[in-house]
Amino acid sequence: MKAWPHGALAVYLVALAFGVLTPHPPPVPLDPGMPPRPPDGLVADAIRNLVLLMPLGWLLAALGRGARYAALLGFLLSLAIESAQALVPG
């Protein structure tokens, strides 16, 4: 088995953790009287999450893992990221 998928997976996971858990200021100041995020923003968020986790599926395929395993791991990782982001200030 080739070693590159293991190394690439490790680099991807470290970069992913750094990217999603580093606090960033909002692009515009938040207005307390502003209505909640519109539903189309949630769709865009879901698409960004899907694109963010696509390399995980490709790397798992390179390691010989099946689609179900990749989908389950992607779902669990996405759930963990969203849960952890709720704890990160900013």
pLDDT at 90 over 60: no
What amino acid occupies position 77? L
At residue 11, does pLDDT exceed 60? yes
Mean pLDDT of the chain, nearest integer:
80
Least confident of 3-7, 23-27, 62-66: 23-27
Number of residues in the chain = 90
Contact 77, 12 (CB under 8 A): no
Instruction: Summarize the confidence of residues 18-35 as an average pLDDT.
Output: 71
pTM greater than 0.75: no
Cα gap 43→37, rounded to integer Å: 11
Instruction: Give residue 1's pLDDT.
Output: 58
Q: What are the structure tokens assigned to 68, written together?
A: 């179900």
